[in-house]
Structure formats: structure tokens, C-alpha cells
Amino acid sequence: MSPQESIMAALVLGGGLWVLRPIAGALARRIGGEIPAAPKVEPDETVLAELQHLREDVNDLAERLDFAERLLAKQRDAQRIGPGG
């Protein structure tokens, strides 16, 4: 390996370690119990009610889309068959 390649390899390796050092330190503190885990938060009843309402709206829209697709398919079939047929 040439001296320039050695210098570049050392810079890349050093830069990578410099970037990863804080992440490894934070992970070590988390594993060691120094940083507590985030508390579990129960969702609010109003949020759950709104989510249920949105699910119902999405289901209603899906039914309407299915109906419109069937209606369009029926019209295309009628045009291919022709009138009176």
C-alpha cells in the first residue's frame, strides 16, 4: 500500500470511529441502566375514538370505491357486447 493510501485508510477509519463513538457510548449507558427506558404511555380515549372513526370512514370509502369499480366494469362490458345483446 502506498503512503497516500495508508493515510486515507487511517483517516477513514479514524473518522468512522469518531462518528460511531457517541453512539456506542449512548448504547453502553442504556444497557448499563444509566439511561432509563421511556415510560409506556397509554393512548387517550379521544384518540382511540377518533382512530375508530377514521377506520369506519376508510371502510366506507373502500365500499364506495368497490361499487364504482363494479359500475364502471358493467358499463365497459355493455359497450363491448353492444346494444340489445
Question: Residue holding cell 444497557?
Answer: 31
Helix, strand, coil percentages for the chain (3-state, nearest 5): 80, 0, 20
Residue 29: which pLDDT band, with cuts at 50, 70 and 90?
A: confident
* From 16-25, 26-35, 41-50, the region with the lowest mean pLDDT: 26-35
- Of residues 52 and 28, which shows the higher confidence score? 52
Q: How far apart are CA 83 and CA 16, in angstroms?
A: 73
As separate numbers, helices (DSSP H) first and strands (DSSP E) second, the chain gives 2, 0
Task: Please check whether residue 35 is in contact with residue 29, taking contact to mean a CB–CB distance below 8 angstroms.
Answer: yes
Q: In one letter, which amino acid is 59?
A: N
pLDDT at 23 over 80: yes
Residue-wise pLDDT for 38-84, tens only, equals: 788 888 899 999 999 999 999 999 999 999 999 998 888 777 776 66
pLDDT for 12: 92
